[in-house]
């Protein structure tokens, strides 16, 4: 089936008892068993829930994967993937990633004996040089948060697989509408479903998607054993969100490009980071491995003072953490999403006091540009 059709129908057969076209919210903690040793496919809601099963099948289909597992947050999804590893295993991770991922790796997982090297994964030679005999996993964000740097997923997968390592891609910024890493050679895809998949800023969740039956069995065991599951109501909200994913992402894409063109030509902007612009250093790679450029944009205003004046002045754009909602969300990475990253690393990566990140929503673009123009006038 086509992508839009899968958004609406994959994993969502009409409810058999009533014919309801929307998967019900099965708000139950347990299930009656007809007799000892026999049940109807469901025993306990931490292990399995029909609403969660539906969204897991739906999201797996959208990523062209075989197995999907939903979790209480994007971070719990990522954490579960790393529970596949053992003390002494080595991980290569992108040096520029979401601050929450860095916090998990550097402050939590290292305490259990995992070893991390952070490299510029846009440089495949850097990935190759970082490989060790005990390298078990390569973790990528592409585009990165917030510098919008791309990694060639296929090339990175070739290097990692030659060393016997898994490739995990956080695909949150793109959604499967714009990029499908499994088709490019990745082994596992993770998302914060909170963002574009849900799309309405009213649910927190995460998902792990993959094709390997062997690894899926391990992830399923961990999902049940640890119990950080997506609730029935949040599962229903994500299903509600994915039904309109294709049409929302098309509008996000259109608005993102229009906003990027406007910002790139503004005299008060020192630099812009958006892979859809021809002068982005990896524009050609974006055209090759993505089906569009999305609506995530970062731009440099030169100082914390300028960023504060700008962010305090916006009215239609919402100053808030997160991204991917139908409303435009704007943030200050240095003090918000990436505050957990050491200051010397932020400086080296370009996460400066003057950097602003915008997740362009699906409002009328004329209204969004007028709001941003009004904010620029404060500088």
CB burial class (10 A; 0-12, 13-18, 19+) of residue 84? Answer: middle
Active-site choice (52, 136, 180, 195) = 195
Nearest to 223 by CA among 233, 240, 210: 210
- pLDDT attached to residue 13: 86
Residues 270 and 189 placed together within one structural domain of the fold: no
Active-site choice (52, 79, 98, 177) = 98
Residues 177 and 263 placed together within one structural domain of the fold: no
For residues 136 and 83, the answer to whether their CB atoms sit within 8 Å is no
For 258-304, how does the pLDDT look when each residue is reduced to its tens digit (9 = 90+)?
999 999 999 999 999 999 999 999 999 999 999 999 999 999 999 99
Residues 84 and 226 placed together within one structural domain of the fold: yes
- pLDDT attached to residue 37: 82
Residues 289 and 265 placed together within one structural domain of the fold: yes
- Tell me the CATH number at 321: 3.90.1150.10
Token pair for 46:
């931490």
Residues 43 and 58 placed together within one structural domain of the fold: yes
Q: What is the pTM of this model?
A: 0.96
The whole-number average pLDDT for the span 342-354 is 91
Residues 201 and 115 placed together within one structural domain of the fold: yes
Q: Quick check: 241 pLDDT over 90?
A: yes
Q: Quick check: 196 pLDDT over 90?
A: yes
Higher pLDDT, 238 or 350: 238
Residues 204 and 288 placed together within one structural domain of the fold: no
Q: Quick check: 11 pLDDT over 90?
A: yes
Q: Report the mean per-residue pLDDT for the chain.
A: 96
The whole-number average pLDDT for the span 95-122 is 96
* Residue 70 burial (CB count, 10 A): 29
Residues 298 and 213 placed together within one structural domain of the fold: no
- Tell me the CATH number at 25: 3.40.640.10
- pLDDT attached to residue 75: 98
Q: Quick check: 150 pLDDT over 90?
A: yes
The whole-number average pLDDT for the span 312-326 is 97
Assess whether 195 carries a catalytic annotation: yes
- pLDDT attached to residue 40: 85
Q: Quick check: 143 pLDDT over 90?
A: yes
Tally of domains in the chain: 2
Residues 151 and 290 placed together within one structural domain of the fold: no
Scanning the structure block, which residue is given the tokens 């025993």? 43
SS3 sequence, the chain?
Answer: CCHHHHHHHCCCCCCCCCCCCCCCCCCCCECCCCECCECCCCCECCCCCHHHHHHHHHHHHHCCCCEEEEECCHHHHHHHHHCCCCCCCEEEEECCCCHHHHHHHHHHHHHHCCEEEEECCCCHHHHHHHCCCCEEEEEEECCCCCCCCCCCHHHHHHHHHHCCCEEEEECCCCHHHHCCHHHHCCCEEEEECCCCCCCCCCCCCEEEEECCHHHHHHHHHHHHHHCCECCHHHHHHHHHHHCCHHHHHHHHHHHHHHHHHHHHCCCCCCEEECCCCCCCCCHHHHHHHCCCCCCEEEEECCCHHHHHHHHHHCCCCEECCCCCCCCCEEECCCCCCCCCCCHHHHHHHCCCCCEEEEECCCCCHHHHHHHHHHHHCCC
Assess whether 64 carries a catalytic annotation: no
Active-site choice (6, 79, 170, 234) = 170
Show which of 242, 267, 282 is a domain's final residue: 242
For residues 156 and 121, the answer to whether their CB atoms sit within 8 Å is yes
Show which of 198, 219, 242 is a domain's final residue: 242
Residues 112 and 12 placed together within one structural domain of the fold: yes
Confidence of residue 340 (pLDDT cuts 50, 70, 90): confident
Active-site choice (31, 42, 46, 308) = 46
Structural domain that includes position 118: 3-242
Residues 221 and 316 placed together within one structural domain of the fold: no
Q: What percent of the chain has pLDDT over 70?
A: 100
Show which of 242, 267, 294 is a domain's final residue: 242
For 15-62, how does the pLDDT look when each residue is reduced to its tens digit (9 = 90+)?
888 999 999 999 999 999 988 888 888 999 999 999 999 999 999 999
SS3 sequence, 78-140?
Answer: HHHHHCCCCCCCEEEEECCCCHHHHHHHHHHHHHHCCEEEEECCCCHHHHHHHCCCCEEEEEE
The whole-number average pLDDT for the span 156-181 is 98
Token pair for 114:
């995992």
Residues 64 and 80 placed together within one structural domain of the fold: yes
């Amino acid at each position: 089936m086509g992508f839009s059709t899968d958004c609406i129908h994959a994993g969502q057969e009409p409810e058999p008892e009533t014919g309801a076209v929307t998967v019900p919210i099965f708000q139950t903690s347990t299930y009656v068993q007809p007799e000892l040793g026999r049940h109807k496919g469901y025993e306990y809601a931490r292990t399995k829930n029909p609403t969660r099963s539906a969204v897991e099948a739906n999201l797996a289909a959208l990523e062209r994967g075989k197995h999907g597992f939903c979790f209480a947050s994007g971070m719990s999804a990522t954490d579960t993937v790393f529970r596949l590893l053992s003390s002494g295993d080595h991980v290569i991770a992108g040096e520029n990633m979401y601050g929450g991922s860095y916090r998990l790796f550097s402050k939590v997982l290292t305490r259990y004996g995992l070893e991390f090297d952070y490299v510029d994964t846009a440089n495949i030679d850097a990935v190759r040089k970082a490989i060790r005999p005990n390298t078990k996993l390569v973790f990528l964000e592409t585009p990165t948060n917030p510098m919008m740097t791309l990694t060639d997923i296929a090339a990175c997968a070739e290097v990692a697989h030659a060393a016997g390592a898994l490739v995990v891609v956080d695909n949150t910024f793109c959604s499967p509408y714009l990029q499908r890493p499994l088709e490019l050679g990745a082994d596992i895809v993770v998302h914060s479903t909170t963002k574009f998949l849900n799309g309405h800023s009213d649910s927190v969740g995460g998902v792990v998607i993959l094709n390997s039956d062997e690894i899926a069995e391990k992830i399923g065991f961990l999902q049940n054993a640890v119990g950080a599951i997506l609730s029935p109501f949040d599962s229903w909200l994500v299903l509600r969100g994915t039904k309109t994913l294709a049409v929302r992402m098309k509008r996000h894409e259109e608005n993102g490009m229009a906003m990027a063109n406007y910002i790139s030509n503004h005299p008060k902007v020192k630099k812009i980071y958006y892979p859809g612009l021809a002068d982005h250093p990896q524009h050609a790679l974006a055209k090759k491995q993505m089906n569009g450029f999305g609506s995530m944009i970062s731009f440099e205003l030169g100082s914390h003072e300028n960023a504060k004046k700008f962010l305090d002045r916006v009215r239609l754009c919402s100053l808030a953490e997160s991204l991917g909602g139908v409303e435009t969300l704007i943030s200050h990475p240095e003090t918000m999403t990436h505050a957990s990253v050491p200051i010397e690393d932020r400086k080296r990566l370009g996460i400066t006091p003057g950097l602003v990140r915008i997740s362009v929503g699906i409002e009328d673009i004329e209204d969004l540009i007028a709001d941003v123009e009004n904010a620029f006038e404060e500088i």
